[in-house]
Amino acid sequence: MTTAWQEIVGHEWAVNLLREAIVQERVGHAYLFTGPRHVGKTALALRFAQALNCEAEVAGRPCGQCRSCRLIAAGRHPDIRLVTPEVSSRGVPTLKIEQIRELQHGLSLGTYEGRWKIAILADFEGATPGAANAFLKTLEEPPRGVVLLLTASEADALLPTITSRCRVIALRPLPTAQIAGALEQRWETPVARARLLAHLADGRLGWALQALEDESLLAARQEHLALLQEALSGSRVERFALAERLANKPDALPAILRTWLSWWRDLALLAWGGREDQISNVDAEDELVRRSRRWEREAILKALQQTQRALWQLEHNANTRLALEVLLLVYPRAEGG
């Protein structure tokens, strides 16, 4: 396997499949990469684009060194187009029909210097109905020499007519040990930090790398956990006050509740006999173990389920303050609170 392919951590089966498609000259006109956010979908699509247009001998593609490989890595190849959703005024990523029409025009012009003209459409589940239907026409009758690479969280998030016209490559979360090893060896991350990031990443190397570069992500997590501890130690009146404060932070709420959800999942895992090395919040291991032994299982499960419910309610435009008040009143009270 070539050096450039080896830069992809994990997903060996997917790499082999794409590599063999090039070697055997059986490249499809459309591929759909699915999996959780930050699991490596776009990175793999870009590496495939490099391999398709690499100037090296077929067995050595992508070389990572030729003009084509370097241009693609820099995002400046004239025959490679990356299309990402635009964020609406409501903060919702949306792929618009105007973006699809502009892409279609570009694909119809043929290649400038590459072997293939390639379009990478990231997070395609964000496509509006109009954009999805417009793109369907391109999938049904793709221009000659064009390869379409889509990414999405899951195949079911797209129209069946789109999924059925793509070769689906479903990427799975990576083992925690593999992420930790990659962080230590390739990115020279200290062991303790690599272990924490690997556990928090939930199988997503991309998230771990983002957190490695942006310290604000872990700082925000600590703030979220501090809010949780405030809730657990607070009286009924203090919890109502906290619900009011949080309701005034609508943009931050989803991230806060997801952090809390991760904490409750760890607690439930330990309460039902799981091992300490299976939890995500490894830096809170002592506290989680202590609480898992003191709180009733039913109370932990109820808190976990209510946190999931609150997240769903917020995503479906429920009354934010009411959802938070109900949530915080369900949480058990910490010892000494």
Taking only the tens place, the pLDDT of each residue in 242-288 is 999 999 999 899 999 999 999 999 999 999 999 998 999 999 999 99
| Structure token pair of residue 309 | 């419910």
Predicted local distance difference test score (pLDDT) of residue 89: 59
* Residue showing tokens 């699991």: 39
Task: Output the pLDDT for position 336.
Answer: 53
| Token pair of 90 as six digits | 């409501």
Spatial contact of 80 and 147, defined as CB atoms under 8 Å apart: no
pLDDT digits (tens, 9 = 90+) for 74-99: 999 999 999 999 876 566 789 999 99
- Which pLDDT score, from 0 to 100, does residue 334 have? 85
Q: What is residue 1's predicted lDDT score, i.e. its pLDDT? A: 45
Q: Is the Cα dihedral 204, 209, 212, 213 positive or negative?
A: negative
Least confident of 201-210, 220-229, 327-336: 327-336
pLDDT at 11: 94
Whether the pLDDT of residue 54 is over 80: the answer is yes
**DSSP H stretches of helix in 58-128:** 67-73, 97-107
User: What is the longest distance spanned by two Cα atoms in the chain?
Assistant: 70
How high is the mean pLDDT of the chain?
Answer: 93
- From the list 155, 134, 3, the residue with the least C-alpha distance to 65 is 3
Amino acid 337: pLDDT: 46
What pLDDT is stored for residue 316 in this prediction?
85
pLDDT category, 209, cuts 50, 70, 90?
very high
Q: Where do we find the tokens 């943009």?
A: 251
Position 265: which residue type? R
Q: What is the 3-state secondary structure (H, E, C) of 199-266?
A: HHHCCCHHHHHHHHHCCHHHHHHHHHHHHHHHHHHCCHHHHHHHHHHHHCCCCCHHHHHHHHHHHHHH
